[in-house]
Amino acid sequence: MKFSDVRYIRPDLTILGEEILTYLKVFKTAENAERQNEIISLINEKRKFYDTMENICYIRHTVNTLDSFYDRENDFFNEAGPEFFSVVKKFYEAVLNSKFIDELKALRPVQFFNLAEVSLKIFSDEVIEDLQNENKLVSEYDKLIASAKIDFAGKKLTLAEMGPYLTDNNRDMRKTAHEAYFGFFKANEDELDSIYDQLVHLRHKIALKLGYDNFIDLAYARMGRTDYSAKEVKVFREAVHKFITPVSNRLMERQEKRIGVDHLMYFDNRYSFKTGNPKPNGTEEQIVDSAKKMYKELSNETNEFFNFMVADEMMDLTAKKGKAAGGYCTYIHGEKMPFIFSNFNGTFGDVTVLTHEFGHALQVYSGRHYNEPEFVWPTTEAAEIFSMGMEFITWPWMNLFFGEDDEKFKFMHMQNSLTFIPYGVTVDEFQHKVYENPDLTPKERKTLWSEIEKKYMPYLDYSGNEYLAQGGFWQKQGHIYEVPFYYIDYTLAQISAFEIYNKFDKDRQSAWKDYLDMCGVAGSEPFTKLLEKGKLSNPFDIKVIKDIILKVEKQISKFDDSKF
């Protein structure tokens, strides 16, 4: 079924809740674990129905935030989500209090019960209204970002449509484009500050109500992190500062020379070559056709699946008015299919986002056989391994997209992947500090951002742009508003993705088998266990980070970037 034909029905929370509660009565009186296990499966089907409708709404709302019907439906789910989770909480409590709990753990993966325990730590009926208000504030941010209409080059452009101008060959154009782009954030600074200030205080209040000292541990529980804590993440950030920041600085010095500027400015950071950044050849349709060829040659699994995605119209790729920013992959339980959302704008990112999100899509499609809704996706740091890994797995086919510029693309891709890591830990450390000190003023938060930014990315120079110089860059990073603490995940996964690159460089056949085996594990194992299944190292090990980054820097040094 094509996505346009997929039927949306607003869930009736009263009926759905009553059905689940009726099942729970049967569950509690069941005479054996096998019967309880059957009831769990029946309840999971009800949960998947709700999740299906929520995701259909989410997709159609983000594809066109101007659609009044799905705007109203999005408002409905903002209210309904916490109320429905109140019922789900009763389900988790019943499962964990079962007198057959040991037998149930023999019938389902232990991770299901681990996630159930974590879920009970993030919710109580006392915070339903707070959670609803949190959802509304996040929607306010999303709508504000999607509303951008920037007067530039004789057009009214969205933030995504500004992309090509931000990396233009003409330095004055790049500077002017960056001023216009961040001018939108400056013009809306007060509203952005207000939304975030409300979110921080609201999340802190929720944490206190649930018995936490602050929001940080609650956020980790929300993310389903069952096998590591903020302590391990802090060690990881310190390792990044010690081993990756110096390499990143050297690469940016190399870029400064390569593009021929006396001093690298903030509007030069994404401009990698005098001859211009590599751009994909052709239209959206041609890029998709090239992807078809690529995935046909990669494996039978990817050939079949990508053709499913195209035939069922499970992708919306082009930037347009009213479309939400960014890119994502989500999963529609009722169709047992993922959906890819992107904002193609004629830059190299069109290809990296497509391969990235397809990695997610292949993984969730591989997990469609699980009855547990929790298992389709792994936790986010594990999920990002599949997407970032796919970016490197597809390297042999980059000539299809970039022609003679494929080596230029590979150099820039690897450099950007490495220099991203210091930025990623900047986002993470910023959030830790913010939620440790929830009463910071908006101005103090920006000062804090600047201090952390300079620690991990000392090459940044915002001279001439007051908004950025005073610490405003983070307000464009939607994760900080929408899904707090979802960002270190990318940096952890990037280390694993580099390791996947090394594995594929040595033996593609065995590396592909390991990758597919990991896809099949999906969310049935926590992060560190999933790494073991995929024969990958633990990125919390400082030695692992040091060794992998040495290999990456050595690989980058093999490129003669002077010819680009």
Within-domain flag for 169: no
For 139-240, list the strands marked E by DSSP.
150-152, 155-157
Q: What is the pLDDT of residues 44-58, one digit of tens each?
A: 999 999 999 999 999
Query: Residue 35 is part of which domain span?
Result: 3-126
Contacts of 127 (CB under 8 A, 6+ apart): 82, 206, 209, 210
Within-domain flag for 7: yes
Helix (H) or strand (E) holding 342: strand 337-344
Does the pLDDT of residue 421 top 90, yes or no? yes
Q: What is the pLDDT of residues 133-145, one digit of tens each?
A: 999 999 999 999 9
Q: What is the pLDDT of residues 448-466, one digit of tens each?
A: 999 999 999 999 999 999 9
Phi/psi of residue 330, nearest 5 degrees: -130, 175
The SS3 call for residue 351 is helix
pLDDT score, position 219: 98
Please state the rounded mean pLDDT for residues 77-97.
96
pLDDT score, position 243: 97
Cα–Cα distance, 29 to 36 (Å, whole number):
9
- Taking the complete model, does pTM exceed 0.75, yes or no? yes
Q: What is the pLDDT of residues 484-533, one digit of tens each?
A: 999 999 999 999 999 999 999 999 999 999 999 999 999 999 999 999 99
Q: What is the pLDDT of residues 29-39, one digit of tens each?
A: 999 999 999 99
Q: Sort 503 into a burial class: Cβ within 10 Å, 0-12 / 13-18 / 19+.
A: buried
* Residue 247 and residue 418 in contact, taking contact as beta carbons nearer than 8 Å: yes
**Percent of residues, the chain, with pLDDT higher than 70:** 100
Within-domain flag for 80: yes
pLDDT score, position 562: 85
307 CA to centre of own chain: 24
The SS3 call for residue 201 is helix
Does the pLDDT of residue 1 top 90, yes or no? no
Please state the rounded mean pLDDT for residues 331-349.
95
Q: What is the pLDDT of residues 224-255, one digit of tens each?
A: 998 999 999 999 999 999 999 999 999 999 99
Within-domain flag for 46: yes
Please state the rounded mean pLDDT for residues 300-315.
97
Cα–Cα distance, 392 to 187 (Å, whole number):
38
Within-domain flag for 420: no
Cα-Cα-Cα-Cα torsion 287, 288, 289, 290, nearest 10 degrees, comes to 50
Average predicted confidence (pLDDT) for the chain: 96
Q: What would the DSSP string read from start to end of 249-268?
A: HHHHHHHHHHHT-SS--GGG
pLDDT score, position 563: 87
Within-domain flag for 117: yes
Within-domain flag for 517: no
pLDDT score, position 513: 96
Cα–Cα distance, 326 to 146 (Å, whole number):
10
pLDDT score, position 315: 97
Within-domain flag for 531: no
- Count up the domains in the chain and report the number: 1
